[in-house]
């Protein structure tokens, strides 16, 4: 469902090696999630461009405007790092504690390149070739917005999707009980 809101929603997905459980999503402050997405935007765009380059028109939006968009996404992204790091730690706390503890003990100048590569790799792995033109179209539609607004809007969409998913998960057992008469 998150991939439907590509491209920026993929950045949030890339911040963790696996989707966070519902209780973890509830604990993440929306502003912190938006900051994490803001930090991830340039790495998201790098992944999209490298994965989709051969599938998109040579005179299309990313081919003609990708460098300028990347520069906009990169400018100011580092300011979001402190909150992004906290979100990564929250997601990671639900995963392998030993690896996360080691990562969190690294200084930022060592941790950031690792996280940047993880985001790029994860996003590239999530993109299906058939999505490339839709992702390009989404980027073109969002491009006039400031990167902070793109991140906040994406965070809001993820929050709404999460609430909808949580509601469906809670409704399924109730429906099953009602069907069996329990």
Where does the pLDDT of residue 89 fall: very low under 50, low under 70, confident under 90, or very high at 90 and above? confident
pLDDT in tens, 12-52: 444 433 344 444 445 678 888 899 999 999 999 999 999 99
Contact between 34 and 155 under an 8 Å Cβ cutoff? The reply is: yes
| C-alpha–C-alpha distance, residues 90 and 32, integer Å | 11
Residues 6+ apart with CB under 8 A from 152: 34
Give the mean model confidence (pLDDT) for residues 122-127. Answer: 93
- Report pLDDT digits (tens) over 147-180: 999 999 988 888 888 787 767 666 666 655 655 6
């Amino acid at each position: 469902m998150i991939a439907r809101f590509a491209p920026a929603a993929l950045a949030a997905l890339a911040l963790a090696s696996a989707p966070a459980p519902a209780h973890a999503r509830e604990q993440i402050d929306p502003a912190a999630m938006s900051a994490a997405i803001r930090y991830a935007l340039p790495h998201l765009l790098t992944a999209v461009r490298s994965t989709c380059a051969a599938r998109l028109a040579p005179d299309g939006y990313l081919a003609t405007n990708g460098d300028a968009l990347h520069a906009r996404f990169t400018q100011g992204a580092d300011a979001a790092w402190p909150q992004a790091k906290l979100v990564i730690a929250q997601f990671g706390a639900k995963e392998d504690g030993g690896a996360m503890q080691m990562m969190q003990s690294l200084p930022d100048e060592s941790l950031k390149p690792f996280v940047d590569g993880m985001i790029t790799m994860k996003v590239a792995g999530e993109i299906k070739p058939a999505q490339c033109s839709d992702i390009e179209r989404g980027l073109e539609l969002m491009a006039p917005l400031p990167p902070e607004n793109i991140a906040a809007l994406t965070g809001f969409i993820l929050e709404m999707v999460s609430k909808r998913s949580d509601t469906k998960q809670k409704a399924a057992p109730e429906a099953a009980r009602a069907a069996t008469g329990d």
